[in-house]
Amino acid sequence: MLLSATQETKTDLLKDLGLNEEQPFYSLDKLADADSRYLRDLRVNLKTAIAGETLSPKEAYLLALAAAANEENVTLISAFEEKAKENGATEAETAEAIACASLLATNNILYRFRHFAHKDIYEQLPARVKMNIMGNPVLSKEFFELVSLAVSAINGCERCVAAHEASVLKLGATEQRIFDAIRVAAVVTGLSKIVN
């Protein structure tokens, strides 16, 4: 049976992710069945984000893993963890990317609340959230902060984005590297709506 160009793109996207082509994915299948040109855009967006100029493949896949964990997308968590390992990530590094997403989800809620509430009392109360992982990460301090920035951007915490961006720059990252990380986070967040 001859596949349409859109069906071929769906198959290629699943191969890119190392996912079973026979597994049903409701949203992805719906787009393929409707011959949606968006599938090609999605595949190209993922490929170009992962191939960012300033990120190694290992870093790009660890960022993708953190974004997938933030989105609670088990399918993509598994796929990006495998891709990160194929590119040299250790078990400890993949675990830390997932842990970072969890910690930042916590912090993003607390700091967004403080920002939105506009009350001094909330600024003065201790957060009482353990963050030992940030002090001595398995990932480099710069990369941990970069992942923290990307997850904060996904979660829309303005205060966290500003703090982590300043920290990443202080640790030697460039604006291009930051933007490459944010692109990975953005594309994976969009992908998680289609492949789930």
CATH code of the domain containing 85: 1.20.1290.10
Q: What pLDDT does 46 receive?
A: 98
Q: Which amino acid is at 123?
A: E
Whether residue 71 lies inside any domain: the answer is: yes
Active-site residue list: 157, 160
Whether residue 45 lies inside any domain: the answer is: no
pLDDT at 2 over 80: no
- Structural domain including 90 reads 56-191
Whether residue 78 lies inside any domain: the answer is: yes
Query: Percent of the chain having pLDDT more than 70?
Result: 98
pLDDT 10s digits, 28-81: 999 999 999 999 999 999 999 999 899 999 999 999 999 999 999 999 999 999
Rounded average pLDDT over 78-88: 98
Q: What pLDDT does 128 receive?
A: 86
Number of domains present in the structure of the chain: 1
Q: What pLDDT does 1 receive?
A: 52
Distances (CA, A) of 182 to 21, 141, 149, 178, 193: 28, 17, 8, 6, 17
Question: How does residue 26 score in pLDDT terms, banded at 50, 70 and 90?
Answer: very high
Rounded average pLDDT over 111-128: 92
Whether residue 46 lies inside any domain: the answer is: no
Whether residue 173 lies inside any domain: the answer is: yes
Measure the CA–CA gap between 101 and 115, rounded to whole angstroms. 20
> Is the Cβ–Cβ distance between 26 and 160 less than 8 Å?
no
Whether residue 64 lies inside any domain: the answer is: yes
Whether residue 8 lies inside any domain: the answer is: no
pLDDT 10s digits, 88-117: 999 999 999 999 999 999 999 999 999 999
Whether residue 5 lies inside any domain: the answer is: no
For residue 119, the tally of other CB atoms under 10 A from its CB is: 11
